[in-house]
Structure 1
Amino acid sequence: MVLLTAFASALAISSPFLSLVAAHPFAAGEHEHHSSGPLPGGGKWFQDEDHPAHNLFRRNPLKKRDDSSDFLTVGSPEWVAQYPKSWALTEADVPKAWVDALNTAIDAGKIPSYAPSTVDPNGGVPNYASGVDRNSPDVCANSDRVCRIPQDVWDAPDGYIGIGFDDGPTPDSPKLYNFLKENNQASTQYMIGSNVLDNWQEFQMAYNDLGLDIAVHTWTHPMMTTRTNVQVLGELGWTLQIIYDATNGKLPRFWRPPYGDIDTRVSAIAREVFGMKAVLWNQDTEDWSMSDSPPGTTLTQIEKDMTSWLTGSKSPGLIILEHELTNDTIQAFINAWPMISQNGWKPVSQALLNSSWGAVYQNDDDDDSDNNNDGDEGTDLIFESLFSSDSTTSTSSATATSSGKGSSTTSSGAQASSTGQAEQGNTSSGAERSMSANAVLSLLVSAGFFFLLA
């Protein structure tokens, strides 16, 4: 187990952006592996205009997708005003509709009931309450790298290397984006919501100019297992919301927990409330630590590590943790790029590694199993209820009447496998996934009304 010394140093940095440099304290461990299926084809990402999903996110539900007034101008004062301003989200920042959806999942027994972990700010791994074994199948925390949650992703298919980067967008991101464009390479960008707010021009370059695959990396980059249920909602939900608003309607399917800090509770909230799948990694460059004093690694050491991985076994395929934090972290990827083709690897955006996961975006028209509502009355009722005045109420009142559900206390929930295998082909039924995607759309449009009326 590796101590969280980098996390402690991050807490001491006053600038939220600079604190991300100390981003990933866990080292990759050894696991059994599971290969994945074929790659998916292309297709349009948007729903047809008559699909009810569009109404769920519109600031004005009467307007059409091609009406530019449906979305505020990215970067405008009005656009900025829609989102939380505090680096540390509070439960009061979370719309009531999101908490209601959480409580529905709790009542259905889908969210584990143990309390959040705690972490010593001076370093260490997350600890749980007495009697809670973090390595048990019920918790399956990632702290010690001995347990894998079956629904989460760790490995690429044999012979493939998943391309993706954490912590964007940043002022240094254009160097990476230009390199990807020059090499005609797709990639998954795990975006921090508050970074999208601060660096929206770089976000537009990634989305508008390159069409990169956008995924969620939380709003403030916290250790997610230390957050209450409602705080987890805020971290994921607001990042989904700003990505949706900045892309005229894309709803990411994938997310990555900062520091790789995840357990069955956090994974279940992301999956059951927001329909998202967590993507982790099986190798770590530790490139974030190059900015430490003294540096935790160097460009030379990263090149040695990449050489070892890229000349090694192709089973399983590689998902390597890399960042677009600084010029150096980007240069580390650029230096290793020639070795990928030289050693016969197939580079693919991480979000496209396995067709059984579904489309990159939950509201992608070509993923019929996810998006065909087919007149589902229950889903239609979800749509309708979110436009009531109650849906704009903050959680300060919602949590007070939910008997503790919208907090760290939940009902009994899902079990996780301790076999160490990443069962990447594990997907829910089409009906369940359709409800999940449409419900997420409902939740996020209600957040827009929540902030507009606040």
Structure 2
Amino acid sequence: MLWLVTLGLLTSTLASPLYSRQTSTLPAPGTRGPAPKSEWVAVYEVAKAAGRISTFAPAKLSGAGNPYYPPGVDTGENGFVTDSPSFVHAVAACFGDSDISDAPDGMYGVSFDDGPLPSSPALYQFLQKQNQTATHFFIGTNIVNNPDVFRQALASNAHIGVHTWSHPYMTTLNDTQVLGELGWTVQAIHDLSGGLIPKFWRPPYGDADNRVRAIAKEVFNLTLVGWNRDSDDWCLNESGGSSCGSYGPKSIEDLENELRSWAVGGVSPGIIGLEHELTSKSVGGFINTYAGLKQHGWDARCIPDLFDLSWYLNSPGDSQPIDSSVGIGAGLSSSPATTSSNLDAAATTPSPGTPSSVTSPVAAVESVSQTVQHLASSATPRPAFSSFSVPLAFFVAAGLLA
């Protein structure tokens, strides 16, 4: 009889949503526009055929490194960089009416780009000590290269969004490459967090047009988040100098003065700042000026909390239950969870024959951390988990079997 029980447990394990997460593969770090999964392409093709995704050639990069549309490209209403017809060329940081770029009056959207990196833990520790939520737009390559730091972010109550796989100018990519940049970053966050599916993304350099915007929304149900204040903190390198030419801060003092000017400025609209966790200098600038932000009465929150939105497409917030019935790249049918009670009800009253598929992201990521580290040690695509890399007892103890 024992072998029958064992066989039953193994069968349940192989059929469980957790197991399917563990067998996914990720592209090599740094791959530009990695080939997307076929299921994402299928959703894209339906939206494209329905006319919901614009058709025009990608932008090109000028000699100065700026995107532009080549002659002959129709930059009519469907091709505008933003939702406004006043913009007709691909330029950085153009945001439209369907994007988030302003916070409500008196509120401050705390957000950081480009993590997770070795410079990030000091930021996470500070935010956690201050009980301050923040949105971190992560690069897929950096997630794979720094899984321990990713785990620290998740454990520190960080809200995680998408910042593409390789940080390209998105308007210069073809549709298939856009799918890969977004989809694989979503997949990496999903796989290494225990199943979270991001709801928000930020394009590198703020570079997006209606084609890119539509692919993100129609396929991955991602909402674009921009900014209305730019610190240029990425200019500062670890040696104390500046990587920028005639613009941006030249010292940590310059950066801190810029950030302090935000705090004493107007409160309407509220602020969504562009800051980075690239170096100890960019992280230090925020930490050193945070007290002034609070002293001037700003209501500082992560991006979704500014608008009372759920954090993820399948979970309302940090450490809340995850609804694994929501799929990656399932299109607009991937509806965001609104309340934890809805997910709690789903967890306690599953459909007949359906295995339990709700778990805590922090608990799941802590349990599989060693396997995640093994995945990230290679720069070539490989399964995130082998079929027997996690003992069967883990699934039983964690309550993840049907």
Could you state the TM-score of these two structures normalised by the residue count of structure 1? 0.62
Q: Which residue of 2 aligns with 1:344?
A: 297
Looking at structure 2, the residues matched to 173 and 231 of structure 1 have their Cα atoms a distance apart, in angstroms, of 28
Which amino acid in structure 1 is aligned with residue 66 of structure 2?
V
Of 81-90 and 278-287, more deviation after overlay is shown by 81-90
* Secondary structure, counterpart of 2:111 in structure 1: strand
Instruction: Specify whether residues 341 and 135 from structure 1 end up closer, same or farther in structure 2 by C-alpha distance, changes over 3 A only.
Output: farther
Check if 1:101 corresponds to 2:46. no
Q: Which residue of 2 aligns with 1:156?
A: 103
Taking only the aligned residue pairs, the percentage that are identical comes to 38
CA contact (8 A) 1:273 1:436 kept: no
Q: Which residue of 1 aligns with 2:310?
A: 359
Check if 1:126 corresponds to 2:77. no
Higher gyration radius (CA): 2
TM-superposed deviation, 1:347: 0.5
CA contact (8 A) 1:60 1:70 kept: no
Looking at structure 2, the residues matched to 90 and 144 of structure 1 have their Cα atoms a distance apart, in angstroms, of 20
Q: Which residue of 1 aligns with 2:201?
A: 255
Looking at structure 1, the residues matched to 121 and 324 of structure 2 have their Cα atoms a distance apart, in angstroms, of 37
Instruction: Specify whether residues 235 and 147 from structure 1 end up closer, same or farther in structure 2 by C-alpha distance, changes over 3 A only.
Output: closer
Check if 1:84 corresponds to 2:27. yes
Please list, as runs of the form range in 1=range in 2, the aligned pairs for 1:54-453 lying within 5 A after superposition: 62-63=15-16, 71-72=21-22, 82-85=25-28, 87-90=30-33, 93-120=35-62, 122-132=63-73, 138-140=79-81, 143-144=90-91, 148-207=95-154, 209-291=155-237, 292-293=242-243, 296-297=248-249, 298-355=251-308, 358-364=309-315, 433-435=332-334
CA contact (8 A) 2:32 2:168 kept: no
CA contact (8 A) 1:274 1:437 kept: no
Q: Which residue of 2 aligns with 1:415?
A: none
* Secondary structure, counterpart of 1:168 in structure 2: coil
TM-superposed deviation, 1:309: 1.8
Which amino acid in structure 1 is aligned with residue 67 of structure 2?
P
**Greater RCO between the two (CA within 8 Å, min separation 6)?**
1
TM-superposed deviation, 1:304: 2.0
Instruction: Specify whether residues 280 and 113 from structure 1 end up closer, same or farther in structure 2 by C-alpha distance, changes over 3 A only.
Output: same
Instruction: Specify whether residues 372 and 289 from structure 1 end up closer, same or farther in structure 2 by C-alpha distance, changes over 3 A only.
Output: closer
TM-superposed deviation, 1:211: 2.2
Looking at structure 1, the residues matched to 29 and 303 of structure 2 have their Cα atoms a distance apart, in angstroms, of 31
Instruction: Specify whether residues 132 and 146 from structure 1 end up closer, same or farther in structure 2 by C-alpha distance, changes over 3 A only.
Output: farther
CA contact (8 A) 1:216 1:240 kept: yes
Looking at structure 2, the residues matched to 247 and 230 of structure 1 have their Cα atoms a distance apart, in angstroms, of 26
Instruction: Specify whether residues 146 and 338 from structure 1 end up closer, same or farther in structure 2 by C-alpha distance, changes over 3 A only.
Output: closer
* Secondary structure, counterpart of 2:300 in structure 1: strand
* Secondary structure, counterpart of 1:321 in structure 2: strand
Could you list the runs of 5+ residues in structure 2 that have no partner in the other structure?
1-11, 318-322, 338-380, 385-402
TM-superposed deviation, 1:434: 3.6
State the Cα deviation string for residues 294-319 of structure 1 (Å, max 9, x = none): 66422222222222221111000000
**Deviation beyond 3 Å, 4+ runs, structure 1:** 69-72, 131-138, 141-148, 292-296, 432-438, 450-453
Instruction: Specify whether residues 104 and 348 from structure 1 end up closer, same or farther in structure 2 by C-alpha distance, changes over 3 A only.
Output: same
Could you state the TM-score of these two structures normalised by the residue count of structure 2? 0.70
TM-superposed deviation, 1:204: 0.2
TM-superposed deviation, 1:70: 6.0
Looking at structure 1, the residues matched to 45 and 302 of structure 2 have their Cα atoms a distance apart, in angstroms, of 34
> Aligned residues, how many?
313
State the Cα deviation string for residues 342-394 of structure 1 (Å, max 9, x = none): 11111101132113xx411101269xxxx899xxxxx9xx99xx9xxxxxxxx
Looking at structure 1, the residues matched to 334 and 125 of structure 2 have their Cα atoms a distance apart, in angstroms, of 38
CA contact (8 A) 1:372 1:434 kept: no
Instruction: Specify whether residues 331 and 218 from structure 1 end up closer, same or farther in structure 2 by C-alpha distance, changes over 3 A only.
Output: same
CA contact (8 A) 2:93 2:207 kept: no
